[in-house]
Amino acid sequence: MDTLVQVRGASASYQARRVLKELDLTIEHGETVGLIGLNGAGKSTLVKVLAGQHPLDGGTMTIAGERYAPASLEEAQACGVGVISQNSEPPLDLTVARALVRNTFRCAEEHDAVREWAADLIAAAGVDLDPDAVVGTLDRARRALVEVVRMMAEEAQLVIIDEVAVTLADYEIAALHHVLRRLATEGRGILYITHRMDEVQSIVDRVVVMDQGTVVVDGSVAGLGSDALEGLLLKDISQLETRRSEGAHDVEHAAIALTGVRLGERLRGVDLAVAPGEVLGITGTFDSGVRELVEVLVGQQLPDDGVVYRNGHPVHLDSPEEAERHGISHLTDAVSTRENDHTLVAGLGGEDLALSDEIVRARRMIELVRELRINTANINDSVGHLSGGDQQKAELIRSIERGGDVLVLAHPTQGVDVAARLSVFSYVHQLAATGAAVIFLSTDMSELLKWSHRIVVLAQGTITLHGETASFNEDQLVTAMLGEQELRASGRRARIG
């Protein structure tokens, strides 16, 4: 393979803090390079440098042998670099065809011409997209596919995928990987950033590990299992064994329960009971009703029918504030809409506290920062200054410290590295050991199997699988989400060529 991208001695800083330190990186034509590292390792800064969004202090970059020093994202795109990040998505009011060509010379052409060209692109990519569909009507997986196919439309030579699959289910990631393989076979280079080691095994040719602003490992992924890959990152961090919950699952003894809950066509008579001390994992496709289930639990939606119970008593949860009054705290998965201008201490809540209470609160925050491995030297610093993974952990702290003994967490580890994931779930299980009931939504099958006591799978508004985690494997979970026929049609991530 010929060299596409070469970075030599790259250094970059934010104010007085050096983030990249003499970093070297090479990407060949037709190669998919997996970039992994703990939060704060410098991955996001490297992406911004490659995308023209942050300047180098020192070092050089070349693309196809030509000097490369973009001063903006638009200049990087003109040089053949395309970036798809976790929270980026096409304009919701455009059709798929218009979204694909929005940054190309075809953007001003008549609809019929654009549609025909877009249909050819979609067919070449081998994905299921309707060029006439409005982007806003698509689920998150198809929106991600629109952005990946857009790389073909823009003829990007280097495609940077930055945590795009963070909330996608396995079968959705399979479709994403399928298109990326098509791009690689056309000679494009792909830099794939992820915190999921199973993705690294499935899609990349070579893995690059960053630590403290430089590359510490660069080699083939062949022969490396998930445990070996995690070992490159975790170093001296010990693993946690989860304890199985022995609590009863009837309404009378449950910390929180639902009976006969219906919500339009999304929830069709759901029964659920979660015991004190239990960690329950829930999953489902985008339109399975799993999001609505979470919204009912935390007071964001009132069910059309059925009853929500708290400690055996019916409750009327008509708002998140009412849910919190009943001791139900929650973590939303709307990362891109969160306000991150508060400080870590402010994240603990409480107004007009006495000095002694302020001291207790600050000490508590210092303990949590250490326990959850948040990379900051100042607990009064703005959360917006933290890395994406540390912002996620700060939001988790905010949800936990509201004081509820029922925690409903939507994608609690999205965007965090494997060490942080271990820290988060270690802390969650510590809370469960004190009697808290924890419900977490995830689309990562390996995460569900590793960290939950029980698992519930929803499909078409009903529970299709429910039981002790030890009874299930990944195939059973995905089959319960999709059904046998859909599973065979979509393929599992590692099996798609």
For 406-463, the pLDDT digits (tens) are 999 998 887 777 777 887 888 888 888 889 999 999 988 888 998 999 999 999 999 9
* Least confident span in 40-49, 161-170, 268-277: 161-170
**CA gap 304, 314 in Å, rounded:** 15
346 and 456 fall within a common domain: yes
229 and 273 fall within a common domain: no
Confidence band (pLDDT; 50, 70, 90) for 73?
very high
**Which of residues 402 and 326 earns the better pLDDT score?**
326
Confidence band (pLDDT; 50, 70, 90) for 287?
confident
pLDDT given for residue 272 in this prediction = 95
The answer to whether residue 48 is domain-embedded is yes
Handedness of CA 287, 293, 294, 300 (dihedral sign): positive
The tally of domains found in the chain comes to: 2
* Least confident span in 240-254, 274-288, 344-358: 344-358
The answer to whether residue 239 is domain-embedded is no
120 and 226 fall within a common domain: yes
265 and 203 fall within a common domain: no
Confidence band (pLDDT; 50, 70, 90) for 256?
very high
Q: Which of 445, 440, 442 is nearest to 493 (CA)?
A: 445
Average pLDDT of the residues in 214-240:
71
Token look-up 């580890």 returns 413
**CA gap 194, 388 in Å, rounded:** 13
Q: How many separate helices (H) and strands (E) can be counted in the chain?
A: 16, 20
pLDDT above 90 (res 311): yes
The answer to whether residue 108 is domain-embedded is yes
pLDDT given for residue 238 in this prediction = 47
* Least confident span in 137-151, 215-229, 351-365: 351-365
pLDDT given for residue 1 in this prediction = 61
20 and 88 fall within a common domain: yes
Of the chain, the percentage scoring pLDDT greater than 70 comes to 80
Average pLDDT of the residues in 123-148:
89
pLDDT given for residue 360 in this prediction = 60
Residues whose CB falls within 8 Å of the CB of residue 16, separated by 6 or more in sequence, listed in order: none
Average pLDDT of the residues in 317-333:
91
352 and 220 fall within a common domain: no
pLDDT given for residue 465 in this prediction = 94
Confidence band (pLDDT; 50, 70, 90) for 492?
very low
223 and 291 fall within a common domain: no
The answer to whether residue 340 is domain-embedded is yes
pLDDT above 60 (res 336): no
Token look-up 């026929």 returns 485
pLDDT above 70 (res 18): yes
pLDDT given for residue 355 in this prediction = 58
298 and 225 fall within a common domain: no
227 and 261 fall within a common domain: no
pLDDT given for residue 124 in this prediction = 86
Element holding 114 (H helix, E strand): helix 111-125
Average pLDDT of the residues in 467-480:
91
Confidence band (pLDDT; 50, 70, 90) for 347?
very low
Of 179, 199, 234, the position where a domain reaches its end is 234
229 and 277 fall within a common domain: no
- Token pair of 348, please? 């603990």
- Token pair of 405, please? 């003994």
pLDDT above 90 (res 318): yes
31 and 79 fall within a common domain: yes
pTM for the model: 0.66
Q: Which CATH number goes with the domain that contains 222?
A: 3.40.50.300
Q: Which of 445, 347, 359, 443 is nearest to 398 (CA)?
A: 347
Q: Give residue 217's domain range.
A: 3-234
223 and 280 fall within a common domain: no
Mean pLDDT for the chain? Answer: 83
- Token pair of 109, please? 């052409």
Of 234, 265, 294, the position where a domain reaches its end is 234
Confidence band (pLDDT; 50, 70, 90) for 376?
low
- Token pair of 118, please? 């877009």
pLDDT above 50 (res 391): yes
